[in-house]
Chains A and B, each alone.
Chain A
Amino acid sequence: MQRNPQLNANGELQHLLSIEGLPREVLTRILDTAESFAGVTEREVKTVPLLRGKSVFNLFFEPSTRTRTTFEIAAKRLSADVINLNIALSSQTKGESLLDTVANLSAMHADIFVVRHGSSGAPYLIARHVKPHEHVINAGDGRHAHPTQGLLDLFTIRHYRKDFSRLTAAIVGDVLHSRVARSLIHGLTTLGAPEVRVIGPQTLMPAGVESLGVRVFHDMRAGLKDCDVVVMLRLQNERMGGPLLPSAQEFFKHYGLTAEKLALARPDAIVMHPGPMNRGVEIDSTVADGPHSVILPQVTFGIAVRMAVMSMIAGN
């Protein structure tokens, strides 16, 4: 049987490539560790000496502000050295292969590669070729996975809801193109959430999404009923007006989250969004800035979650 490429022979986390396939205990351990780091980020001195002397290379083949920055902050709070590489401006445009780029960085003594890539599976390819002491974290690959976002979503839900066993969660919008949705669905089902819903138009639902253990709704009002957690996905502007979507206004009318639609969820429901938000497209400003929104705490928790992941893999 082929071993999960993320785990070492002892079942410990070696790389973080996807939430899919990670056992419940590993997910829980990451969340528990992140809880301890959340305490560190509330102190006046926000650094701990854990990764002193280690080098974290941020390899972003796709643009990102929030994810790259929070990885950088997380690494710095662990006392690691951080090197940011904007690959779009570097060797790749001169024709260097992905593995050659990584081999060169490895020769510069990297310990952790944080990789974002437009192609699904690119971090897996890198993980197969790095040295035993080097670790890879997937910071988003194509439509496939964005595991640290999924983990910070799980952390946020656990923070506000305490446990997953009676949870009804809805993920709304462009599920088809969303690596965030896929990672969160795997995380929620692994941690035992009894009801995970996806809400969106047929054209933005992946075929066979039910096989992931979710209920599909095309009517947002029906789907939001009695939800504890509402996760809004970003509608990528570049897809607007294409064959899948008529217009932003039309989308907002049916699938935009307004206060009136949110009232169908539980009174204490939380609203999440991975960012960046398109106000007036998938979410109304009154909701985004309203009392149910935990969108900014998500960003803060993301730092603690990334500290937990880095400190766990770098020690294994």
Chain B
Amino acid sequence: MSALPDAEKLCAKLAAELKPRVGPNAAMVGIHTGGAWLAERLHAMLALAAPLGFMDIAFYRDDYHAQGLKHDPKRTRIPFDISGRELLLVDDVLYTGRTVRAAMNELFDYGRPASIALVVLADRGGRQLPICAQHCGAQVEVPAGMRLRLKRGVDGKLALALEAERAA
């Protein structure tokens, strides 16, 4: 198995890439849980004026009828008016695109942003919807039956990890 990229380095790379691009109207929203960790880091590194938003897309998932509410949804908190904002939507791993679809649907229930750009730490391919990331740390190949997750250590350090996919 090839080594996974260093999440800390990818995070720094994304921040450097975003820095010249964020305007005064930019705001950031992280998707729970891994995307929220990454967003906390990027938000601090970019010193954005608008407070950081967090969202849990549980109420917008398209597999509710098959899966139900399988985890404790966190509360979505968007502490700024979304209308007219240049939004940076942050997630840890981009895969099928369904989470991003759900997140965009939820965002539009808060208002009409000027734009949304997707920022992800890793893209593992396998898209099922026409969605792509505008800012991506790395392309990562993931073996079948495995899933790629972001972990946060007790020291706050971020790391990518592979684990067996849970049986549906």
Q: Chain A interface (Cβ within 8 Å of chain B)?
A: 12, 29, 32-33, 35-40, 43-45, 47-50, 311-312, 314-316
Contact = CB atoms under 8 A, between A and B. Distances in A.
A39 B75 contact: yes
A316 B64 contact: no
Contacts of A35: 75
A38 B109 contact: no
Contacts, number: 52
Contact of A33 (B64, B73, B109): B73
A200 to B, nearest CB: 37
Nearest to A35: B75
Given A44-B110, A49-B105, A311-B59, A38 B75 contact: yes
Contacts of B65: 315
| Majority SS at the chain B contact face | loop
Contacts of B105: 49
Contact of B74 (A36, A45, A316): A36
B69 interface: yes
Interface string B69-107: 110111111000000000000000000000000000110
B123 interface: no
A78 to B, nearest CB: 8
A172 to B, nearest CB: 33
Contact of B73 (A36, A44, A45, A49): A36
- Which size class do B's interface residues fall under? 20 to 34
A36 B110 contact: no
A32 B110 contact: no
A32 to B, nearest CB: 5
A217 B166 CA distance: 52
Nearest to B70: A315
Contacts of A316: 68
Contacts of B69: 33, 311-312, 315
Contact of B59 (A12, A36, A38): A36
Given A40-B59, A48-B106, 17 more contacts: A33-B69, A35-B75, A36-B56, A36-B58, A36-B74, A36-B75, A36-B76, A39-B75, A44-B109, A45-B110, A48-B109, A50-B64, A311-B59, A312-B68, A312-B69, A315-B68, A315-B70
A12 B70 CA distance: 10
B67 interface: yes
Contact of B109 (A45, A312, A314): A45
A32 B60 contact: no
A29 B68 contact: no
Contacts of A314: 68
Given A39-B77, A315-B64, A315-B67, A50 B59 contact: yes
A33 B72 contact: yes
Nearest to A311: B69
A33 B109 CA distance: 19
A34 to B, nearest CB: 10
A43 B109 contact: yes
29 contacts: A29-B72, A32-B72, A33-B72, A33-B73, A35-B75, A36-B59, A37-B59, A39-B75, A39-B76, A39-B77, A40-B59, A43-B109, A43-B110, A45-B109, A45-B110, A48-B60, A48-B109, A49-B59, A49-B60, A49-B105, A50-B60, A50-B64, A311-B59, A311-B69, A312-B69, A315-B65, A315-B67, A315-B68, A315-B70
